[in-house]
Structure formats: C-alpha cells, structure tokens
C-alpha cells in the first residue's frame, strides 16, 4: 500500500473527525434512548434486593424457630424423665429438689416459647412482605420488559450504526501512516475522544482560538500537518470535510 500524500492524509483525518463525531452522537443516543428502560431495570433490581432481604429474614426466623423446637423437645424429655424419677423417690428432700428443678425448667421453657412466638411472628411478617414484594417485582419486571420492547428496535439500529462507524474508523486509521495513527490516538485519548479539529474560517473549531492565517491557508492547501497550539488537536480545514463528504 502506497503512503498517502500529506494532502490525502489531511482528508483522511477530516473523514475520521466526521466519523468520530457521528459515532459520539450515536453513543449519546444509546445512553438517552433506553433511559426509561434502564430506570425500570433499576427499579426491578431494587425490588429484587428487598425481596432477597425478606427471604433472608424468613429463613433466619425459620432456623431460629427450629432450633428452639429442638431445645423444647430436649427439655420436655428431661422433664418426663425427672417426673418418673420423682415418683420413685422416697427421700423427701431429694423429691423436693427434683420438683423445684422441674418447675425451674418449665419456667425456662415458657421463656423459650415466648421467644418462639416472636420468631413465628417475624417469620409471618417476612413471608407477608415477601408476598407483597413478589407482586411488585412482577409488575416492575413486566413494565421494564415493556419499556425495553419500546426501544428495542431503536437500540438495535443505533448499535448497528455505531458498529458501522467503528468499522469505518478502523479502515480510515489503517490508511493513515502508523505513526500518525498513533499520534491521533494519543491526542484523542487526552482530548475527550476528539483528536482532530476542523479549522473554521481562521479559528480552531474545537477550542475556538484564532489561528495564524498563514497556517490556515497551508492546511487548506494540504501543505502542512500541524496541531492546534492551544488544544493540541491535529488541524484539518473545513474545505476538506466538504471534500470528505461531511
């Protein structure tokens, strides 16, 4: 592939600026067009989080409840054993001690039962909340799907258009000398993705600074490749963008 002349390089840069500008416009649209759908997605995610939280609380209450059930079963077994032993005991003092042990255990069991009730209430509340949230989540998900459906075709078209500009950009960059491509990329990375500036009249189109008239003429004639002194972007002339079909 023969190296393009300086004038050709400037025209390629002008085309590149044009493609980049259009790609940026599409990228902006890709942000704004599905904004409502993205917001709807966020609402779904927030509800999902609340739903997970309610499920977690229900599970924790379930677990605590089962734990107490086991403890209560153990205590009941203990009491049954003690009660049958109390019947067999002859000595009054041992009997009295065992009876007092039994009633202490029964009191402890009442406390456990109270806690058990609290867990059951928490479990029911979490279950009720979960049910409500499931309903809300379902509605929100349906709404989000509806919003995406509305913009689906537009988003697909915009993505395809953006992809098209990416291909055009790549092929333009391949035509430029590698060193210039690298220079362009470096500048673009530092300057919000805009590596080329178009001279309008005698002004830098990007930073709006006035440029030396002689420089503007030389750029327009394709005689020099220069960067703007103030914004460092590579300069092409607006006449070239007309030549590039912008």
Q: Which residue, 40 or 204, is less far from Zn ion as judged by CB?
A: 204
To 10 degrees, the CA torsion angle through 159, 165, 167, 168?
A: 160
Q: Quick one: which of 176, 228, 234, 236 contacts Zn ion (CB under 5 A)?
A: 228
Q: Which residue, 208 or 221, is less far from Zn ion as judged by CB?
A: 208
47, 133 Cβ separation under 8 angstroms: yes
Does the protein bind Zn ion through residue 231 (CB under 5 A)?
yes
Torsion sign over Cα 73, 78, 81, 82? negative
Q: How many residues line the site for Zn ion (CB under 5 A)?
A: 6
CB of residue 204 to Zn ion, shortest distance in Å: 3
Q: Which residue, 18 or 206, is less far from Zn ion as judged by CB?
A: 206
Stretch that binds Zn ion, among 52-60, 185-193, 212-220, 226-234 (CB under 5 A): 226-234
Q: Which residue, 168 or 180, is less far from Zn ion as judged by CB?
A: 180
d(CA 49, CA 244): 52
Q: Quick one: which of 115, 96, 116 has its CA closest to 104?
A: 96
Q: Quick one: which of 207, 217, 224, 225 contacts Zn ion (CB under 5 A)?
A: 207
Q: Within 118-147, which residues bind Zn ion (CB under 5 A)? A: none
104, 96 Cβ separation under 8 angstroms: no
Q: Please, which residues have CB within 8 angstroms of residue 55's CB and are 6 or more apart in sequence?
A: 126, 130
CB of residue 191 to Zn ion, shortest distance in Å: 9
CB of residue 177 to Zn ion, shortest distance in Å: 22
Does the protein bind Zn ion through residue 204 (CB under 5 A)?
yes
CB of residue 50 to Zn ion, shortest distance in Å: 51
Helices and strands (H, E) in the chain, number of each type: 6, 3
d(CA 8, CA 1): 14
The contact mask relative to Zn ion for 162-201 (x = CB under 5 A, - = no) is: -----------------------------------x----
DSSP code of residue 33: T
Q: Which residue, 40 or 199, is less far from Zn ion as judged by CB?
A: 199
SS3 content of the chain, % helix, strand, coil (to 5): 80, 5, 15
- Give contact residues for Zn ion (rule: CB under 5 A): 197, 204, 206-207, 228, 231
């Amino acid at each position: 592939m023969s190296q393009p002349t300086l004038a050709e390089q400037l025209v390629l840069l002008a085309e590149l600026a044009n493609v980049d500008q259009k790609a940026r416009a599409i990228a902006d649209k890709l942000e704004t067009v599905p904004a409502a759908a993205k917001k709807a997605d966020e609402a779904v995610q927030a509800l999902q989080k609340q739903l997970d939280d309610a499920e977690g609380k229900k599970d924790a209450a379930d677990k605590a409840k089962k734990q107490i059930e086991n403890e209560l079963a153990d205590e009941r077994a203990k009491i049954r054993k003690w009660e049958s032993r109390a019947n067999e005991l002859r000595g009054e003092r041992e009997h009295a001690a065992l009876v007092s042990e039994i009633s202490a255990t029964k009191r402890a069991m009442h406390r456990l039962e109270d806690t058990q009730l609290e867990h059951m209430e928490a479990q029911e509340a979490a279950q009720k909340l979960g049910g409500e949230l499931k309903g809300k989540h379902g509605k929100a998900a349906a709404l989000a799907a509806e919003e995406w459906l509305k913009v689906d075709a537009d988003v697909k078209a915009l993505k395809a258009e953006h992809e098209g500009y990416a291909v055009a950009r790549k092929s333009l960059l391949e035509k430029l000398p590698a060193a210039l491509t690298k220079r362009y990329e470096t500048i673009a990375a530092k300057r919000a993705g805009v590596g080329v500036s178009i001279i309008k009249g005698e002004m830098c189109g990007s930073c709006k600074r006035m440029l030396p008239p002689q420089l503007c003429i030389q750029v327009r004639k394709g005689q020099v490749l220069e960067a703007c002194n103030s914004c460092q972007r590579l300069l092409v002339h607006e006449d070239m963008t007309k030549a590039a079909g912008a």
